[in-house]
Amino acid sequence: MSTSPKVFVAGATGLLGSQIISALLDRGAPVRALVRPGADADKKTALAALRSRGLEVVEGDVTDSAEALAEAVGDAATVISAVQGGPEVIVDGQANLARAAAKAGARRFIPSDFAIDVTKLEDGDNFMIDWRRRAAAEYAHAGLEVISVLNGAFYEVMVGFMGLVDWDRGTLSHWGDPDQPLDLTSVSDTAAYTAAVALDPKATGTLRFAGQVLSMRQFHEAVQRGSGRTLELRHLGTADELRAEIERQASRTQNPFDYVALQYQWCMVTGKAKFDALDNDRYPQITPTSVTDFVRAAAPTA
């Protein structure tokens, strides 16, 4: 029987949430997950695999009443939020979850802050980071110890969502100084660090982890090594020109998600959201995957 305190995870069917649960179960922790009703077949299959390893599942949503959420949290000592979405989820939902966690008697809350250094940014630098800071202001007085886990940019986002790598055209594009250091981590390693933090009774405050710290020039070289392909490194413009492009796109659309990838890139290439120091040494048992090894496993074959 496990002696670890129970951990409650919201956002359990997402890519990060599911891997946080897996990492916690690997460490022998009892885990309860909040799952929205009506999960699709793939998510049900993934949940079934986790349940076979001991995961306890309760149906619900972070927007449920505080009473219902508190009942779902139950006897968990730590609540982890790995939710994604708009302000109704990131701000209102997380504040609601934190209040429910406190009502249930939980002691610690790890919010969905998994990103670049949110503490260094200002309103308007990145609207998704703005939401996270608004959420932090909402749950600051919930009566919980809040521990933020920051990981820089996900490898998966750098290679995929941001559109930097074009395998068909054989290019890797970037803005700004190609030698500006960037904090990068895989989803799997972020999950491992989050599980370690959740089960570490001495963990507190904001903790920063990175699988690797690479410039765009070094990232380009690592992607080439991992993929075995030659990619042209394309410079798209300066950081100031990137900012102008963001403003141009913002003036043409009411959907900020159309330019959020550019906002993240601006925060990174300017160095504004760069970690000052890393906490990797706190958990030496975790050996992060390199960008080269990640790409070797994930890149499409030529």
pTM of the predicted model as reported, rounded to 2 decimal places? 0.95
Is there a contact between 54 and 22 (Cβ–Cβ < 8 Å)? Answer: no
pLDDT in tens, 211-270: 999 999 999 999 999 999 999 999 999 999 999 999 999 999 989 889 999 999 999 999
Give the chain's mean pLDDT.
94
Q: Is pLDDT of 301 > 70?
A: no
Model confidence pLDDT, tens digit, residues 157-198: 999 888 899 999 999 999 999 999 999 999 999 999 999 999
Whole-angstrom distance, CA of residue 127 vs CA of residue 169: 31
Question: Letter for the amino acid at 136?
Answer: A
Strand partners, 67: none
Q: What is the mean pLDDT of residues 272-285?
A: 97
Contact between 136 and 96 (Cβ < 8 Å):
no
Of the pLDDT bands very low, low, confident and very high (cuts 50, 70, 90), residue 131 is: very high
What's residue 246's pLDDT? 96
Mean per-residue pLDDT for 107-124? 95
Q: In the prediction, which pLDDT does 162 show?
A: 87
Q: Across the chain, how many H-helices and E-strands are there?
A: 12, 14
User: Domains plus CATH for the chain?
Assistant: 7-146 (3.40.50.720), 151-186+210-273+282-302 (3.90.25.10)
- pLDDT category at 17 given cuts 50, 70, 90 is very high
What is the DSSP-derived secondary structure letter of residue 277? S
Average pLDDT over residues 45-59: 92
For residue 46, what pLDDT is reported? 86
Instruction: Label the pairing between strands 212-214 and 182-185.
Output: antiparallel
Q: Which residue has the higher pLDDT, 257 or 31?
A: 31
Mean pLDDT of 109-136: 94
Confidence check: pLDDT of 1 > 70: no
**Which residue type sits at 105?**
G
Q: What is the mean pLDDT of residues 7-14?
A: 95
Beta strand 148-150 pairing with 206-208: parallel
Q: What is the pLDDT of residue 161?
A: 83
